[in-house]
């Protein structure tokens, strides 16, 4: 059961990356990360989302993207590859 859960986590992570990998290079750059986070905010707020909510979050967003890149971009090339994303997922799961 635990093994299945792990596979599902990886599949979700992979799907999430592919969904926001707009130039299809199998890596997420800062802009793609930003889009994915805006997407998450919109999804989170669902019906009550409006443009102000998104705009108010842009400042926090660029900080979040910087932080995420610093934490997740293991080879410091400015892109998050799936392997790096997976390592990050494993790391936050431990905490």
Shortest reach from residue 77's CB to Ca ion, in Å? 4
Determine contact, residues 71/3, Cβ cutoff 8 Å. Answer: no
Count Cα atoms within 13 angstroms, Cβ side, for 9. 15
List CB contacts of 45: < 8 A, sequence separation 6 or more: 53
Task: Say whether residue 83 binds Ca ion (CB under 5 A).
Answer: no
Q: Report the residue number, 59 or 83, with the smaller CB distance to Ca ion.
A: 83
Say whether residue 75 binds Ca ion (CB under 5 A).
yes
Residues that bind Ca ion (CB under 5 A): 21, 23, 25, 27, 73, 75, 77, 79
């Amino acid at each position: 059961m635990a093994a299945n859960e792990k596979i599902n986590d990886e599949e979700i992570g992979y799907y999430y990356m592919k969904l926001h990998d707009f130039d299809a290079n199998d890596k997420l750059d800062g802009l793609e990360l930003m889009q994915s986070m805006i997407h998450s905010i919109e999804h989170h707020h669902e019906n009550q989302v409006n443009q102000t909510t998104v705009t108010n979050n842009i400042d926090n967003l660029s900080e979040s993207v910087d932080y995420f890149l610093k934490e997740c971009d293991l080879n410091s090339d400015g892109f998050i590859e799936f392997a790096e994303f997976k390592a990050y997922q494993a790391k936050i799961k431990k905490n």
